[in-house]
Structure 1
């Protein structure tokens, strides 16, 4: 159940809130399936299929946002509208105008929507009230921001802020590559991306490629800055750090998997995995912030 991505936000450490308080705050924002005329909907669901919106192990909390979206391609609407327009032209003696076509498509959408297929997806949120972290398992920052808006809507005066560090990730990663010297506790892996900031927006990517210091320095000297860098923390977790402070492609390494118990039932295994994940990632985030010069307080 490890998160694949971390969009990281800051909370007070410790944050004095209980799972019951969060549960009560998010109850009005529970997920409700699309009605016949809804194109999409979203809301909070129980992460483990019970009636609890907040799943807790120790003091660590897990939330889950559910999405449902109807699949009604524009090409289908246009195809039906074209056929209806021909019938309408024969009936009224002239082609439908723009207003008529717009109204026709709106009627067709309303007619087809109840029969449209729907897809569901979900995004998990980890709240660490002990160390003051909130992380969303989303690759895109925009999705994480939408989830944060839902939390702020439900939890009155939620004290969450962006995570601000003293040294920008792009600048720090570029320095690590230029000096061929990763920060303590981290190693640089074989994937990276360097981008120029000029009009050309030129990029160079290394994938599963040994990073030769001289090659990298040449690109940096040419005006490129590191925007993505694959790294490993403490020989335990690998990840990709981006210039926007997102942690992506998170993967637990063998040294952690070796400690996984094999005799647990599903619930015990989930609890053990969640405990292991939150414990390791809380330390990783703290070390990463330290490597980036610590937090920058506005």
Structure 2
């Protein structure tokens, strides 16, 4: 249940009111099996495991959990090309003539049609939740493409969902660099043990990645003195959550520390009770973290139109 990455969007209070329809509309957009001649399908699946009739949302307080599922046909180009070469060679040997470009294209299209229904199907899951009080859409991914696809699914289900990417008032790269170079971190933050430094003025795009490294070391300070800036920085919040924050404000390598896990305990009546407890703890901790990031970087909630 615990998320590993966070890609964030914001929405207004008026939009939050419309999200009460999620439980009602998602069943009409549930994931269906990919068809024989389809490359992929997308839709919603139950965020908490259960039978076929398991609900497609799971709500705790003002947080609603959902999961976008996908089925993708895996048909590697190498498989198609190998079969294409075999057929071309057979025609050449049996008919004694070369195979032209147009004919090769037609054969390849026929092969694709023949092989697609037998292709391996890969299933994907992307969890997310909406915080109607705070105006956050939180997606468990560091991929902007995957996040945009999930947002598209929500918009199709709701008819519209004007959630917007983060628009920081404070430059994240400047602030992260200042935190590392001058030790000006806010009270509730500590430096982690990794960072990514880049020289924005370098035509070669020089990149330094440090892991399991003392961020106060002379080596790190020397890179900063030479003009490199922080593009990713490992941080610890309240001694409860560690993560890597990027200059794109995507949270990566999210990890809940022992202080949080101890609060969860291990005595739950069933899977649903365990999922509810985990989700409640997750959202409680992230509500504090997201509020803190909003304060640091200036991430205001959009105003109602």
Query: Counterpart of 1:9?
Result: 9
Distance 1:132 1:26 in 2: 20
Report the alpha carbon displacement of residue 6 of structure 1 after superposing the two structures with TM. 0.5
Distance 2:291 2:79 in 1: 50
Query: Counterpart of 1:225?
Result: 229
Report 1:77-88 matches (<5 A). Answer: 77-88=80-91
Query: Counterpart of 1:175?
Result: 178
Contact 1:191 1:206 in 2 (8 A): yes
Equivalent of 1:237, from 238, 241, 250?
241
Which sections of structure 2, spanning at least 5 residues, go unmatched? Answer: none
Taking only aligned residues, the RMSD between alpha carbons, in angstroms, comes to 1.9
Distance 1:90 1:294 in 2: 67
Contact 1:164 1:297 in 2 (8 A): no
Report the alpha carbon displacement of residue 93 of structure 1 after superposing the two structures with TM. 3.5
Report the alpha carbon displacement of residue 181 of structure 1 after superposing the two structures with TM. 2.5
Report the alpha carbon displacement of residue 58 of structure 1 after superposing the two structures with TM. 2.2
- Structure 2 vs 1, CA of residues 296 and 52 (structure 1 numbering), >3 Å: closer, same or farther? closer
CA deviation string 1:124-174 (max 9, x = no partner): 111111111101111211210121122222223323112222112211100
1:201 equivalent in alignment to 2:205: yes
- Structure 2 vs 1, CA of residues 113 and 297 (structure 1 numbering), >3 Å: closer, same or farther? closer
Which sections of structure 1, spanning at least 5 residues, go unmatched? Answer: none
Contact 2:74 2:120 in 1 (8 A): yes
Query: Counterpart of 1:98?
Result: 101
Query: When the two structures are superposed, what TM-score results if normalisation uses the length of structure 1?
Result: 0.93
* SS of residue in 1 equivalent to 2:129: strand
Contact 2:264 2:281 in 1 (8 A): no
CA deviation string 1:199-233 (max 9, x = no partner): 02111121111112644343223221101101011
Report the alpha carbon displacement of residue 266 of structure 1 after superposing the two structures with TM. 1.6
Query: When the two structures are superposed, what TM-score results if normalisation uses the length of structure 2?
Result: 0.91
1:276 equivalent in alignment to 2:281: yes
Report 1:1-298 matches (<5 A). Answer: 1-13=1-13, 15-19=16-20, 21-48=21-48, 49=50, 50-197=53-200, 198-212=202-216, 214-264=218-268, 265-295=270-300
Contact 2:8 2:136 in 1 (8 A): yes
Distance 1:145 1:73 in 2: 25
Report the alpha carbon displacement of residue 190 of structure 1 after superposing the two structures with TM. 1.0
Distance 1:146 1:222 in 2: 40
* SS of residue in 1 equivalent to 2:18: coil
Report the alpha carbon displacement of residue 291 of structure 1 after superposing the two structures with TM. 1.8
**Structure 1 runs, 4 residues or longer, greater than 4 Å off:** none
